[in-house]
Structure 1
Amino acid sequence: MKNSSSHAYDEAFPSEESLSSVHPDLRVGFILMNKFTLAPISGFVESLRFAADKSFRSLQIYCKWDWMTFNDAPVTASCGLSVNPTTLLNVKALKENYDYIVIAGGLLTETRNPPEHVLEILNEIHNAKIPIIAFCSGCFVLGNAGLMDGRKCAIHFTTKEEFSERFPKAITVVDKAYVEDQGIFTCPGGTAIDLAADLIRRHCGDIRAQKSLEYLLINADKHIMNEKEEILLDSPTTYENSIVSKAISFMSENLSAHVTLKEVAEHARTNPRQLHRAFLSSTHEPPSNYWRKLRLEHARKLLANTNAYITNIAIECGFSDASHFILWFKKQYGETPFTYRKRRHEIEKLK
């Protein structure tokens, strides 16, 4: 007799053929150092797992992840768990296949003096403008790579003194679940669920983020209410330059308005030329490009979480017309808004 159980864990898996056309919105590559701390890695990847599929089948549909190690050999977590890499540590693959690279640290004996080839890889990844996330003592690895100079770093209070002595140009923070500063994320430990939820929300939409929080037994409503208390993605506070901070805040509040860069500059109490210089220094791109990316990210959320017409979304996100919006969306994400929305809903048809 056929089992009629509707329990989520008993669901049938869709065929590989049916999944071939569905591409993940969030791709993460984990680089594990020996004696890495398990808690932040498990919290982060379990958040991805719940967000990645329609239910509990653990298919990598909306989210994708791979395990790499610093030496392409099995490594052991600080708790004794052994982990085998699922793919080799390759710079070209890292650049092409992932939206974020995680460097997972743990015991300081393994991260105080990391292998030179790992430092070279991290610098190449950073130069390619791929965000890097450091868990636990992974920030020591980034410090050795020279990537923490002038940046805020969320550090565990037990290692703050040593980190500050080794990397005096870094700005240490001990009271945040995580900090993002110009493409570098640092998380001192814990479960890293806050960071995972914010990344999932950004790339996969509110529904996916909510699902992860609910099934990890996290108070999702409380998490959402407390979001503003954290240093979130695209938060103006991630930039030390006051002109850039004021400008980004103004841009975020006027995504649908036809506001000129001159008006943005006036709000930041500067002129367009100085605004341009400040953005190049802090964000490595002109203010017009940064503003367009904010608008495109907002549009992608609307495409994923609403049924609004593409023309209406284009207007709401400050584009002059749908064709202009479609052109920039495809240039930024490699597909049209229609294709993106269709792809996001394909999983609902899989049984």
Structure 2
Amino acid sequence: MVHPASEKPQPGTLKTFGFLIVPNFTTIGLASAVETLRMANLAAHQPVFRSVLLAADDAPVVASNGMRVLPDCSIARAPALDAVLVVGPNPIERGRATRPLVRWLQQLARQRVPLGGICTGSYLLAKAGLLDGYRCTIHWEDLPTLQAHFPAIIISQQLFELDRDRYTCSGGVAAIDMMLQLLAREPQGVDMAAKAAELMLCDRVRGEREPQRVSLRTLLGSAQPRLSQVVALMEANLEEPLAVEELASLSQVTVRQLERLFNKHLQRTPSQYYLQLRLARGRHLLLNGDAPVGEVALACGFSSPAHFSKSFSRLFGESPSAQRRRARLTPACE
């Protein structure tokens, strides 16, 4: 049950958020943001926020999970907007953002409309030159891609960043946290945000400085700090992998003890787990960059492209080149 707010927003102050959806957009990010605004209206007992779905044209937009979503209107017929959030695609569509979308976002920026990105939406804003001089974030898997293409941008690994009139979040349910913080900035918004969070069964509202990734220690519980320490060492040394003996020595355990820990909690040997981490990193670089397979292999600690390709094919069922080609056949934002 929602209890009446002590102070309600004044009637006639409806604020309109536009959500720009592009092909392959992530539905969890969109739903998390839109539902937060809906719950805020319920908490306020009156319409305070309105969500408008926007697209390049009036045609349905296919999400990354295959859902077809009909926008409320095209960008050409967009109503007056108080803020616009770009819901980015998965994976990032490098070099395929349309000029009309970029020009429209640039026009909004000139009109001082606050702009934001959900998940990889930050990439489109960066492509439009609208994150220069701002702090921003993006999903942790896509952070290296954003850094590589826009080295001058200040990028963080936080859940979300609210920097003046730029709002970016890492995607997924982090959109809820970002929207709740934006709600709290409104007049009498703190109470409204708290009630909206309660309606969504959020046991707490995460702050923007919290990290994106759930640590292995959190997943396994605090009873396995040694295992978490070893995995952290692995993740920090993908390009120049450490030997199992070095990992054991640095973690002050024997190789046998290390193997028992991995077998018990991760159902694989330390070497197998380490190899999967390196290959997962390689797959991400392949799908989100243009580096040759040989360079990707070196970046993941493989001495030769042939060794990398063989290991990659064994884990993912197809060669690195084949997976990259198939990914690029995915419908993009034309």
Aligned-pair CA distance for 1:169:
1.1
- Give the Cα–Cα distance (whole angstroms) in 1 for the partners of residues 86 and 68 of structure 2: 17
State the AA in 1 paired with 2:168.
T
Larger radius of gyration: 2
Query: Which residue of structure 1 aligns with residue 170 of structure 2?
Result: 188
Structure 2 residue aligned with 1:139? 122
Closer, same or farther: CA 61–111 of 1 in aligned 2, 3 Å: farther
Question: Which residues of structure 1 form unaligned runs of 5+?
Answer: 1-6, 9-20, 232-351
The equivalent residue for 1:170 is 153
Partner of 1:208: 192
Q: Tell me if structure 2 keeps the 8 A contact 1:133–1:185.
A: yes
Letter in 2 for 1:29: G
Other-structure match for 1:64: 50
Mapped to 1, the partners of 2:52 and 2:13 lie a distance apart of 13
Q: Take 2:209 and 2:155, find their aligned partners in 1: how far apart are those partners? A: 18
2:65 alignment partner, one of 76, 79, 82 = 79
Deviations 1:191-220 (A, max 9, x none): 11111111112225223211210011012x
Write out aligned runs for 1:1-351 (5 A).
22-53=11-42, 61-90=47-76, 93-94=78-79, 97-110=80-93, 112-174=95-157, 176-191=158-173, 192-203=175-186, 205-219=189-203, 222-223=204-205, 227=207, 229=209
* Matched letter for residue 102 of structure 1: L
Q: Deviations over 1:269-307 (max 9, x none)?
A: xxxxxxxxxxxxxxxxxxxxxxxxxxxxxxxxxxxxxxx
Q: How far is 1:111 from its partner?
A: 5.6
Q: Which amino acid aligns with 2:134?
A: R
Distance 1:227 1:105, change over 3 A: closer
* Distance 1:228-1:37 versus aligned 2 partners, 3 A rule: closer
Distance 1:70 1:155, change over 3 A: same
The residue matched to 2:162 in structure 1 has which SS? Answer: strand
Aligned 8 A contact 1:105 1:111 in 2: no
Specify the SS of the correspondent of 1:53: helix
Tell whether the 8 Å contact from 2:92 to 2:123 is kept in structure 1 after alignment: no
What is the CA-CA distance between 1:22 and the residue it aligns to? Answer: 4.3
Which amino acid in 1 is paired with 2:35? E
Does structure 2 conserve the Cα–Cα contact (< 8 Å) formed by 1:103 and 1:133? yes
CA distance in structure 1 between the partners assigned to 2:162 and 2:146 by the alignment: 18
Query: C-alpha displacement at 1:44, in angstroms?
Result: 1.0
TM-score, normalised to structure 2's length? 0.55
Mapped partners of 1:77, 1:115: distance in 2: 17
Q: CA deviation at 1:90?
A: 2.8
**Match for residue 307 of structure 1?**
none
TM-score (norm 1): 0.53
Q: Contact 2:86–2:117 (CA<8 Å) still a contact in 1?
A: yes
Percentage of identical aligned residues: 27
Letter in 1 for 2:16: R
Q: 2: CA distance between counterparts of 1:163 and 1:68?
A: 24
State the SS of the aligned residue for 1:51: helix
User: How many equivalent pairs are there?
Assistant: 202
Distance 1:54 1:190, change over 3 A: closer
Q: CA deviation at 1:172?
A: 1.4
2-side partners of 1:33 and 1:27: how far apart?
19
Pick closer, same or farther for the CA change 1:206–1:42 going to 2, 3 Å: same
Partner SS state of residue 90, structure 1: helix
Q: Is the 8 A contact 1:111 1:138 kept in 2?
A: no
Change in 2 beyond 3 A, CA 1:201/1:111: farther
Equivalent-residue separation in structure 1 for 2:162 and 2:190 (angstroms): 20
In the aligned structure 2, how far is the partner of 1:119 from the partner of 1:217? 37
| Deviation, structure 1 residue 85 | 1.0
